[in-house]
């Protein structure tokens, strides 16, 4: 059995810079990935199978297996191989769901990306980067960046990726008030779609300078999401009161993150918040480089 982590995606900044004629929004987003995440396991089997469990699995209990991004990633990769005359054997896939669903930290997208990487290794099937990029984008705008899995700036509709050499990890606390957010609804509530682009990142080798630069950036989806779901504001306030240097929503919400000075400070803040808000999802984590 082959196991691969599916790390949470954190949008440190998310600027909406326009909208295409087909309705897709254009973004500039600085993205990092965390030690926190789901886990995908794959193995050869007599027939295809998909098993779901984990602390956050109940939220997906009403979803059909065929609609899960993990299964769609498997089928898309197999179809790509068939077009090249390659028939790939059946596999069993297990998803250990640890991240909240519909929470703005890329759970489903990260799961799909991890499935693609795991099956390429298991099947010893290695299509070119163009095939993988096309498959990933077809599964969702966040899947290409999750397939990359390292600090980056995503532009276009999420497919144009530029690596960012971030010289340190960030100690974060992730908070979700157990509110499922519809990404299309938040985008529809945007008042302005042609906003200023993301400025060039600064302080990539100096954490203090980087955090100060990060304060000059935005998540343009945060105001409409907060209007629709006031609990997001509660999360931001809780993180600020817990000592976060910066608190912001990730993606389209409702998950928010707080940047802390150290791992010790993040874990202490998470422990305090868990006592105050036992019904929320709360976790301390560190971003990967």
* CATH (domain of 101): 3.30.230.10
Q: pLDDT tens across 8-63, in order? A: 999 999 999 999 999 999 999 999 999 999 999 999 999 999 999 999 999 887 77
Structure token digits, residue 227:
């209007």
* CA 153 to centroid of chain Cα atoms: 13
pLDDT above 90: percentage of residues in the chain: 93
The whole-number pLDDT of residue 59 equals 87
Question: For 258-285, what is the mean pLDDT?
Answer: 98
What is the crossing angle of helices 69-83 and 107-123, to 10°? 40
The whole-number pLDDT of residue 153 equals 98
Same domain, 195 and 252: yes
Q: pLDDT tens across 212-223, in order? A: 999 999 999 999
Same domain, 111 and 175: no
**In whole angstroms, what is the distance from residue 86 CA to residue 82 CA?**
5
Question: For 73-102, what is the mean pLDDT?
Answer: 96
Please confirm, yes or no, whether 142 is among the known catalytic residues: yes
pLDDT tier, 119 (very low <50, low <70, confident <90, very high otherwise)? very high
Q: pLDDT tens across 190-214, in order? A: 999 999 999 999 999 999 999 999 9
Give me the long-range contacts of 266-274 (CB less than 8 A, separation at least 24): 266/171, 266/172, 266/173, 269/173, 269/239, 269/242, 269/243, 269/244, 270/173, 272/242, 273/173, 273/175, 273/238, 273/239, 273/242
Of the residues 162, 185, 213, which one is the last residue of a structural domain? Answer: 162
Same domain, 214 and 232: yes
Of the residues 145, 162, 179, which one is the last residue of a structural domain? Answer: 162
The whole-number pLDDT of residue 265 equals 98
Question: For 243-250, what is the mean pLDDT?
Answer: 98
Question: For 261-286, what is the mean pLDDT?
Answer: 98
Selecting among 5, 9, 96, 171, the annotated active-site residue is 9
Same domain, 112 and 238: no
- Count of domains in the chain? 2
Selecting among 28, 38, 96, 142, the annotated active-site residue is 142
Under a CB-based contact definition with an 8 Å cutoff, are residues 98 and 135 in contact?
A: no
**In whole angstroms, what is the distance from residue 119 CA to residue 88 CA?**
10
How many other CB atoms are there within 10 angstroms of residue 239's CB atom?
A: 26
Question: For 177-185, what is the mean pLDDT?
Answer: 92
The whole-number pLDDT of residue 137 equals 94
pLDDT(65) > 80: no
* CATH number of the domain residue 185 falls in: 3.30.70.890
The whole-number pLDDT of residue 69 equals 95
Same domain, 144 and 196: no
Same domain, 140 and 6: yes
Of the residues 162, 182, 212, which one is the last residue of a structural domain? Answer: 162
pLDDT(236) > 90: yes
Residues of the domain holding 196:
165-286
Same domain, 178 and 134: no
Same domain, 85 and 169: no
Prior bond to 254 cis, omega within 30?
yes
pLDDT tier, 111 (very low <50, low <70, confident <90, very high otherwise)? very high
């Amino acid at each position: 059995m082959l196991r691969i982590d599916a790390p949470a995606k954190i949008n440190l900044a998310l600027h909406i810079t326009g909208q295409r004629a087909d309705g897709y929004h254009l973004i500039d987003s600085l993205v990092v990935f965390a030690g926190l995440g789901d886990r995908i396991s794959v193995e050869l089997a007599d027939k295809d199978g998909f098993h779901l469990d984990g602390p956050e699995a109940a939220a997906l209990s009403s979803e059909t297996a065929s609609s899960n991004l993990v299964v769609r990633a498997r089928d898309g990769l197999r179809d790509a191989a068939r077009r090249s005359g390659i028939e790939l054997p059946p596999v069993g896939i297990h998803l250990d769901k640890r991240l909240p669903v519909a929470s703005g930290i890329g759970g489903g997208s990260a799961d799909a990306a991890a499935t693609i990487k795991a099956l390429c290794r298991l099947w010893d099937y290695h299509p070119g980067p163009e095939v993988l990029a096309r498959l990933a984008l077809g599964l969702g705008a966040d899947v290409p960046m999750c397939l990359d899995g390292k600090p980056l700036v995503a532009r276009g509709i999420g497919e144009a990726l530029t690596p960012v050499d971030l010289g340190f990890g960030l100690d974060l606390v992730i908070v979700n008030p157990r509110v499922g957010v519809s990404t299309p609804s938040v985008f529809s509530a945007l008042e302005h779609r042609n906003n200023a682009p993301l400025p060039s990142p600064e302080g990539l080798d100096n954490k203090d300078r980087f955090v100060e630069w990060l304060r000059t950036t935005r998540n343009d989806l945060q105001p409409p999401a907060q209007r629709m779901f006031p609990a997001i504001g509660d999360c931001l306030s809780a993180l600020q009161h817990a000592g976060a240097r910066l608190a912001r929503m990730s993606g389209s919400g409702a998950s928010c993150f707080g940047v802390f000075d150290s791992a010790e400070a993040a874990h202490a803040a998470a422990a305090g918040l868990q006592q105050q808000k036992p019904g929320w999802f709360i976790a301390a984590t560190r971003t990967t480089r």
